[in-house]
Amino acid sequence: MAAKVAIVADSIACLTRELVDKYKIVIAPIPIRYGDKLYRDWVDITPSQAYELFLKDPDSFQVAGASPGSFVDAYQEAAKQAKNILCITLSAKISGANDAAHKAKEHVEKELPHLSIEILDSKTVTAAEGFVVLAAAKAAAAGKSLAEALKAAKEMMDKVSWLASLDTIKHVYRTGRIPKIAAQAASMLNIKPVLGMSPPSSGLIRFIGASRSKEGGIGRMLKIMRNKVGQSPVHVAVMHAYAPDDAQKLKERVASEFNCAELWITEFSPVMGYAVGTGTLGLAFYKED
């Protein structure tokens, strides 16, 4: 039976290869520039390879910005699965990916007028966006319509949250939110900020708190999650930026302290890593109704 709807997502959704393959999600990569070379996040380069380049020379590592061409290619690939396409992007308030997706839609619908493309701003980022994508992809895999897949994604947007504890603040000036000198000063003081979206549907990344140690940042994230989910069954993605051992330890701690219905590890897209730096750990989560 042919699918009724195909799902497209940008690479910031931090989905694992296994999940993408299982649900036939098409990824639109965000370009990364290192020196004079351009890489497509998730496609040409793995997060670990990208972080190795970043560590070699952070100043040569740049995000090139979301490209309509990436979404054109993704729509054309998704069109092989179904004539209805749902594209889910990270928050339009922090990236031009949603605008690029709309420009690509205009181009592709002229070329392939039989297609119906719906674009959803997830109003979030990281694996929280990934959970929104998965909600739509699971609906699609169950044979649901485009409208039903869209409804599933929107319902997930109201439930999912994410947090990240940075190992260093020295690269955060790249977001344009704080001056470089302030970031460097905070780094010298060993301040480790905790980031998230507050409120979750705001679409904006905010500083939620800070710690003077990695363990303190992890503890703060777990406390915030505990306050949100209590003893309810919870779905969790543990995220890391070039810190697999720390991520595994965090996963084990989450498994022991929470009632996990789902728990997996993924890597932060290096598109975000260029601002948060390596060593960052994060949690994306939602509780079952």
**pLDDT for 183-195, tens place per residue?**
554 555 577 888 8
Domain boundary among 157, 174, 198: 157
Residues 248 and 273 in one domain: yes
Residues 248 and 270 in one domain: yes
Is the bond preceding 113 in cis, omega lying within 30 degrees of 0?
no
pLDDT of residue 266: 98
| Weakest-pLDDT range from 61-65, 69-73, 282-286 | 61-65
Query: For residues 227 and 189, which has the higher predicted lDDT (pLDDT)?
Result: 227
Confidence grade of residue 171 (pLDDT, cut at 50, 70, 90): low
- Residue 58 within any structural domain of the chain: no
Confidence grade of residue 1 (pLDDT, cut at 50, 70, 90): low
Domain boundary among 157, 176, 199: 157
CATH of the domain at 183: 3.30.1180.10
**Mean pLDDT of all residues in 90-114:** 95
Domain boundary among 112, 138, 157: 157
List the structure tokens of 73: 């290619």
**Mean pLDDT of all residues in 42-60:** 91
List the structure tokens of 222: 């777990």
Residues 194 and 282 in one domain: yes
Residues 202 and 264 in one domain: yes
Q: Give CA 271 to chain center in angstroms.
A: 10
Which residue type is seen at 238? V
CATH of the domain at 19: 3.40.50.10440
Residues 116 and 88 in one domain: yes
Confidence grade of residue 177 (pLDDT, cut at 50, 70, 90): low
- Residue 45 within any structural domain of the chain: no
Residues 83 and 208 in one domain: no
Q: For the chain, what percent of residues have pLDDT higher than 90?
A: 75
How many C-beta neighbours within 10 Å does residue 82 have? 19
- Residue 56 within any structural domain of the chain: no
CA distance 194 to 218: 9
Residues 242 and 278 in one domain: yes
Residues 153 and 166 in one domain: no
Q: Containing domain of residue 79, as a range?
A: 6-30+65-157
Residues 19 and 129 in one domain: yes
- Residue 43 within any structural domain of the chain: no
| Contacts for 186 with CB less than 8 Å, ≥ 6 apart | 169, 170, 193
- Residue 256 within any structural domain of the chain: yes
Among 92, 84, 98, CA closest to 136: 84
**Mean pLDDT of all residues in 64-77:** 94
**Mean pLDDT of all residues in 74-90:** 97
Q: For the chain, what percent of residues have pLDDT higher than 70?
A: 92
User: Which conformational region is residue 145 in: left (phi greater than 0), alpha (psi within -120 to 50 degrees), or beta?
Assistant: beta
- Residue 37 within any structural domain of the chain: no
pLDDT of residue 267: 96
Residues 169 and 268 in one domain: yes
- Residue 55 within any structural domain of the chain: no
Residues 252 and 176 in one domain: yes
**Mean pLDDT of all residues in 143-159:** 97
- What pairs with residue 27 in β-bridges? 9
Question: What is the total count of domains within the chain?
Answer: 2
H helix runs in the chain, sequence order: 17-23, 47-56, 68-78, 97-111, 126-141, 146-157, 180-188, 214-229, 244-257, 270-276
Instruction: Tell me what the pLDDT averaged over the chain comes to.
Output: 91
Residues 19 and 115 in one domain: yes
Confidence grade of residue 106 (pLDDT, cut at 50, 70, 90): very high
| Contacts for 270 with CB less than 8 Å, ≥ 6 apart | 32, 41, 45, 47, 50, 51, 54, 61, 241
- Residue 35 within any structural domain of the chain: no
SS3 77: helix
Q: How are strands ordered across the β-sheet holding 61-63?
A: 37-40, 31-34, 61-63
**Mean pLDDT of all residues in 256-273:** 95
| Contacts for 184 with CB less than 8 Å, ≥ 6 apart | 170, 173
SS3 41: strand
